[in-house]
A and B are shown apart, each in its own frame.
Chain A
Amino acid sequence: MALATGGDHQAFERLYRSSVARIHSLVRRMAGDEVADDLTQEVYIRAWQKLSTFRGEASFSTWLHRLAVNHVLSRRATLARRRERQVPADGVLDGVGVGPGTPGLRMDFEAAIGRLPERARDVFLLYDVEGYTHEEIAEMMGVSTGTSKSQLHRARMILRKHLN
């Protein structure tokens, strides 16, 4: 980390390789496959620019992860992601096939997450997948903790229908 802040590209590359799986997965799940690569690159370039602001109060992975979330949220308005639905919850995932014990079960679940309403999806990913608290989510998304909790519940209620 100290070498990376000193301008060493090789050191920063090591940081990249140790973290890209998690960062790219987060970005892909939040923003979609089409823009995931570009956004991930933007995240790391931004991290490089902001390395001097890393104070070491949290781990680098935590700092980078938070930067990635904030970047995706800030770019949301300009992302050209095609979504096939912006509909109320109940009918949104009809047709997304999930079978018990099928080899593609994990990918089906991710596909189902991808079709959630945007805000519910964000909260679900940040809480259940990434482990943020409702207070942290509320701060990042500019919503109340009550909204965060209700959106999480909404997401789970939708997804539960596709696990059985």
Chain B
Amino acid sequence: MDRWTHRLSEYADGEMPPAEAGELEAHLEGCAACSGVLSELRAVKERAADMPPREPEQDLWPGILEGIRGEALRVIDLDSRRRTREAPATDRRGRRFTVPQLVAAAVALMFLSGSGAWMARDRLDHVRAPGAAAETFPGNAPATFAASPAAGAPGSELSELARILEEHRDRLAPNTVRILEKNLAAIDRAIAESRAALEVDPGNAFLEAYLEGSLRRKEEFLREARALIAAD
């Protein structure tokens, strides 16, 4: 092989500077070996470009869905593994909560940010509340859980959850709090965008069905989180 062999791919891809390409082309006119290699390299390129994608042999979605659903509860598992059992916190009613249960409550609160308001008000008002489009949800995390739009009306279960989490905020690992606040902000933004979309296109059956379906799934998660809190 000569000095041009290792540069034939570069030439085949059109990435050789023009002056050098001219020199190579002159060389190719008199070198059958290099011309042959160049043809083969181009054939490899063509074969590669012709490789179609292929579906996996089995449907991977169930495992993905399980992984997605497991992400919300994984915060609890991580916190449980990292921390030794601590003395449980208590609320005004004397209920005792361990740190994992507080984390579960925080995660439930995130997913309740839409459903809590939905349960507290008439559903139609929730999606079409006057001035809803003008509401601004914090781009950053709320200063406290209790101040979050997810906190719900005073006296509601949502507000009680928010109060408990805020009271025992310092008992959670900083990284856990950071994750929860980040996810809470993301949930609030998603809800705001959904509501804003319905303000623009009220009565859109697809959007309403989507919102209702999302709230239903959040409620299911809330039941699971509640079970953890109740298991004292």
The answer to whether A36 touches B56, judged by C-beta atoms less than 8 angstroms apart, is: yes
B48 touches which of A21, A41, A128 (Cβ 8 Å): A128
Chain B residues within 8 Å of A35, by CB? none
The interface bits of chain B over 1-15 (1 if a CB of A lies within 8 angstroms of the residue's CB, else 0) are: 000001111100001
The answer to whether B68 touches A160, judged by C-beta atoms less than 8 angstroms apart, is: no
The answer to whether B56 touches A7, judged by C-beta atoms less than 8 angstroms apart, is: no
Least CB separation from B67: chain A residue: A45
The answer to whether A20 touches B60, judged by C-beta atoms less than 8 angstroms apart, is: yes
The answer to whether A110 touches B67, judged by C-beta atoms less than 8 angstroms apart, is: no
The answer to whether B44 touches A163, judged by C-beta atoms less than 8 angstroms apart, is: yes
Known: A3-B210, A40-B60. A25 touches B190 (CB 8 A): no
Chain A residues within 8 Å of B49, by CB? 128-129
B193 touches which of A6, A20, A28, A160 (Cβ 8 Å): A6
- In the bound complex, how far is the Cα of B45 from the Cα of A159, in angstroms? 10
| Interface residues of B, count at CB 8 A | 40
Of the listed stretches B35-43, B123-131, B149-157, B166-174, chain A binds B35-43
Tell whether A49 is near chain B: CB-to-CB under 8 Å. Answer: yes
Chain B residues within 8 Å of A157, by CB? 37, 41
A160 touches which of B43, B56, B60, B194 (Cβ 8 Å): B43
Of the listed stretches A9-17, A73-81, A85-93, A136-144, chain B binds A9-17
> Which interface residue of B37, B51, B63, B67 has the most chain A CB atoms within 10 A?
B51
Known: A48-B71, A128-B49, A156-B41. A20 touches B186 (CB 8 A): no
The answer to whether B68 touches A12, judged by C-beta atoms less than 8 angstroms apart, is: yes
The answer to whether A45 touches B71, judged by C-beta atoms less than 8 angstroms apart, is: yes
**Min CB gap B16→A, angstroms:** 10
Known: A160-B41, A160-B43. A9 touches B55 (CB 8 A): no
Tell whether B80 is near chain A: CB-to-CB under 8 Å. Answer: no
Known: A36-B56, A149-B9. A45 touches B64 (CB 8 A): yes
The interface bits of chain A over 145-159 (1 if a CB of B lies within 8 angstroms of the residue's CB, else 0) are: 000011011001101
The answer to whether A7 touches B214, judged by C-beta atoms less than 8 angstroms apart, is: yes
Least CB separation from B69: chain A residue: A9
Chain B residues within 8 Å of A156, by CB? 9, 41, 44-45
Tell whether B136 is near chain A: CB-to-CB under 8 Å. Answer: no
The interface bits of chain A over 1-35 (1 if a CB of B lies within 8 angstroms of the residue's CB, else 0) are: 01101111111110011001110110010000000
**Min CB gap B6→A, angstroms:** 6
A153 touches which of B9, B51, B56 (Cβ 8 Å): B9
The interface bits of chain B over 169-189 (1 if a CB of A lies within 8 angstroms of the residue's CB, else 0) are: 000000000000000001101
Chain A residues within 8 Å of B187, by CB? 7
- In the bound complex, how far is the Cα of B15 from the Cα of A49, in angstroms? 38
The answer to whether A109 touches B47, judged by C-beta atoms less than 8 angstroms apart, is: yes
Chain A residues within 8 Å of B32, by CB? none
Instruction: Supply 15 A–B pairs (Cβ within 8 Å), ascending by A.
Output: A3-B210, A6-B193, A6-B194, A8-B213, A16-B60, A16-B64, A20-B60, A25-B51, A25-B53, A41-B63, A44-B64, A106-B51, A160-B43, A160-B44, A163-B40
Q: Which residues of A contact B (CB under 8 A)?
A: 2-3, 5-13, 16-17, 20-22, 24-25, 28, 36-37, 40-42, 44-45, 48-49, 52, 106, 109-110, 124, 128-129, 134, 149-150, 152-153, 156-157, 159-160, 163-164
Q: Which residues of B contact A (CB under 8 A)?
A: 6-10, 15, 37, 40-41, 43-45, 47-49, 51, 53-56, 58, 60-61, 63-65, 67-68, 71, 186-187, 189-191, 193-194, 210, 213-214, 217
Q: Which 9 A-B pairs give the minimum distances between C-beta atoms?
A: A128-B48, A160-B40, A153-B9, A21-B53, A45-B67, A6-B190, A25-B53, A22-B53, A24-B56
